[in-house]
Structure 1
Amino acid sequence: MMGPKQEAQAALFYEFSLEDHVPRDHLLRSIDRFVDLSSIRSHLADFYSHTGRPSIDPELLIRMLVVGYCLGIRSERRLCEEVHLNLAYRWFCRLDLTDRIPDHSTFSKNRHGRFRESDLLREVFEMTVARCMQEGLVGGQGFAVDASLISADVQKQNSSNPEDWAAREAAPNDAPRAVREYLDVLDDEAFGAASEVIPKFTAHADPASQWTAARKGPAFFAYSDNYLIDTDHGIIMDVDASRSIRQAEVGAMRKMIDRTEERFGIKPDWIAADTAYGSSDNLVWLTLKRQILPFVPVFDNSKRKDGTWSRADFTWDENNDRYICPEGKELRHTRRNYSDPARNTHGMKARNYGALKSDCQVCPSKAKCCPNTDTRRIRREKYEIVRDFARECTASEFNPKAQARRKKVEMLFAHLKRILGLGRLRLRGPCGVQDEFTLAAIAQNLRKLAKLKPMVTTTG
């Protein structure tokens, strides 16, 4: 028999609890245990006026942003609609059924104002890192670093040659916010100071974005999202935005390593990275200045492409300051005997090493070594001793383990784009991009905490 028609009837009183309607295994319930924002009011106290109308609670805004980035809702307009409708979102944001949701414009006003002036999002991110450390998820011995391209919110049609664009620009005070932020980072190692090479195109709406074809396909405007992670459990120790070029990503890595040691007192024993971080100056910075073992493939352009022997085919004899060719002949910097041996020490400087003409002319392998010259010469670079040390690290038994752990940072980038939906930026300018990357890193660390530290359910 068909039952009666279901009709909503207004009741005079309701007994309703949001706590009872949020599932025990809901993601936000697992995350809520690790979100302690009680200190942000004191952090922002100096950025609020003592008179006027009371403002919206900043903890509410941060909790709403955490909901959005944890669940892939990056539109603030849509986020307000979802929090209005979803009981679990209201519970996490400490909102009752009758509480009003802030207007979406409140987020941009606070982001461009007190949040950015107080660096609040960085403060919240460091709170999540500190909680990960408290939960024992950070070992501190091994780090990994990498960068991933994120498309900027601009189009090629709204771009031009940098020289032509600069000539049409108005005064900096009258320029849009993204342009003013671009001018502010011209001397930053991760942006303007990273390279003197002028890009082919500059986007008018977001000139700090980089025109790049690094994906081996059609070029596009992008920023680089740089992660420094602890390799034990893939916790993000620091995050930084930069231009999408190798030099800028290296500069961001140095900034993150220094900042992590300054904020948390942690400096890794070793670091794993790909070849983009294997330049001589960066290896010198890691090994000599920071005393960190580099499990980083050396960036080396000495390999010949014509089939003849490259520098790597020659054996370096450190004790006798010479190279040994595959035929057993030696290449020396000088054959003069100095009364003071210190005058012939190579130290940290570039030197040229050459073989004897009498050895090369009768050598059966001359066609493979120096077919177009009388003798073979090899240039040993200024910091080749540091590069050799890096090669020893990558040839060690631990390197496969270090490179396997480095894959965790690539998995985080895949999660960032596929699950959290950050394949394309929504905000513009270096500050807006940094805000998006920081919020995404907060969300990933909180999700990691919820996964590795599950809730203990009790059965009665």
Structure 2
Amino acid sequence: MRGADSYSESLFTTVKLEDFVPASHPLRPIRTWINEALAKMDERFSAMYEADIKGGRPSIAPEKLMRAMLLQVLYSIRSERQLMEQVTYNLLFRWFVGLSIDDPVWNHSVFSKNRDRLIEHEAVTQLFNATVEMAKARGLLSGEHFSVDGTLIQAWAGHKSIRRKDGNDDDRPPENWHGEKRSNDTHESKTDPDSRLYRKSNAAPALLSYLGHVLTDNRHGLVVDVHTTQADGKAERAAAAVMLGDVRSDTQRITVGADKAYDTRGFVKECRALNVTPHVAQNLKRNGGSAIDARTTRHAGYEISQIKRKCIEQCFGWGKSVGPIRQVMVRGLAKVDQVFTLTMAAYNLTRLRGLAEVRP
């Protein structure tokens, strides 16, 4: 018998959001892990709102805020306005964030303002560190063999925003650059002053950019440290030294794989001073020759590091195809760092979920 095309709502319902989410949904383990990490951050969240204890309207709960920010990365949602729209009608998103069916959804501008509060207290950094601790507790990190690399993050600013720092071109049309050379020393973007003109190779155009740096563990390619800097020719090696300093051990020698851009005598010397063996790809075309010789390359571990270091591109590829770091929609180094760190935390969570299916 043909069913009737009718619609009627019940006055009351006892259905819970939990009932709409399949038991096998990939967000279920991620939400469990996130809730465990957020529970350990309770003191930090309390410190964030100590100044507001005298009064005022309650803000967005930081736990809900961070779960919503993760959803934005995991589901490639391009803006806060669109995120709030989807949380309004998407029951899965409401369940993940922690909103009931009847709870009102925040205004997108209020959401952005509360998100910026997290920067001062480094809440996103602590969440990222929690994902690393989860991997360590599950025995997924080697703690001995690492890879390091950086990637270009295009800034949310265009070439027309680049003007002279001394203001001598204020009466000149922004698109007219004929006969004038632009340089980071003399010019800056008025839209995003922290961004810098940078290009990865001579064949690529110079774009307003930042640089994101990651240190990954070679066992499963999980990210163990992140760093964001202004775009500079020496930033990759400087950031790598900082991250290696965070994971170094006085009692155990570790290795780090890297591409030819890290084959400089200064970086190799700094690695060895940190008790780190630099398994850097040899740049034989470099003036003066490679900083790595047969004392390093003759070992089997060097070849393994050169194979495993290419896995670092997976986190960059995921962050630019699924995540928002191909071109960030925020301005300023602090906000770009927050987006990059959150993206790498989300990448770790997706990797942990996949590894949990293989190793229950």
TM-score (norm 1): 0.69
Q: Distance in 1 between matches of 2:131 and 2:241?
A: 21
Indicate conservation of the 8 Å contact 1:296/1:394, yes or no. no
Alignment of 1:95-244 (within 5 A): 95-113=99-117, 115-161=118-164, 163-165=165-167, 198-199=184-185, 201-215=187-201, 216-244=203-231
Q: State the match for 2:21 in structure 1.
A: 22
Q: Which range is displaced more, 209-218 or 222-231?
A: 209-218
Rate the CA distance shift 1:131–1:167 in 2: closer, same or farther, 3 A: farther
Q: How far apart, CA to CA, are the structure 2 residues paired with 1:267 and 1:72?
A: 40
C-alpha distance 6-267 of structure 1, shift in aligned 2 (>3 A): farther
Gaps of 5+ in 1: 169-196, 304-310, 313-383
Q: Which moved more, 1:230-239 or 1:268-277?
A: 268-277
2:260 matched residue in structure 1? 275
For the structure 1 residues 43 and 15, does the alpha-carbon distance in structure 2 shift closer, same or farther, using more than 3 Å as the test? same
Cα deviation for residue 266 of structure 1 reads: 10
Aligned residue pair count: 342
Percent of aligned pairs with the same amino acid:
29
Q: Which amino acid aligns with 1:232?
A: R
Q: 1:198: Cα distance to partner?
A: 4.3
CA deviations over 1:336-365 (Å, ceiling 9, x no partner) = xxxxxxxxxxxxxxxxxxxxxxxxxxxxxx
Partner residue of 1:188? none
What is the CA distance between 1:103 and its match in structure 2? 1.9
Q: Which residue of 1 aligns with 2:71?
A: 67
Q: Deviations over 1:35-92 (max 9, x none)?
A: 1211333112223122213322110001111111122124111111111211111111
Aligned residue type for 1:120: A
- Kindly provide the CA deviation profile for residues 225-280 of structure 1, in whole angstroms up to 9, marking residues without a partner as x: 11111010111111111123331111111222223459xx9976100001111211
Deviation, 1:139, is 1.0
Q: Which amino acid aligns with 1:442?
A: A
Q: 2:278 aligns with which of 294, 305, 319?
A: 294
Indicate how the Cα distance of structure 1 residues 297 and 75 shifts in structure 2: closer, same or farther if over 3 A, else same: same
1:445, 1:295 → 2: CA distance?
24
Which AA in structure 1 matches 2:44?
H
| Residue aligning to 1:448 | 351
Q: Which has the larger radius of gyration?
A: 1
Distance 1:400 1:456 in 2: 27
Question: 1:358-377 counterparts in 2 under 5 A?
Answer: none
The amino acid across from 2:25 in the alignment is H
Gaps of 5+ in 2: 171-182
Asked if structure 1 preserves the Cα contact closer than 8 Å seen for 2:29 and 2:353, the reply is yes
Q: In 2, distance between residues paired with 1:153 and 1:147?
A: 19
Instruction: Give the match for residue 39 of structure 1.
Output: 40
- Change in 2 beyond 3 A, CA 1:74/1:259: farther
1:199 offset after TM fit, Å? Answer: 4.9
Map of 2:96 onto structure 1 = 92
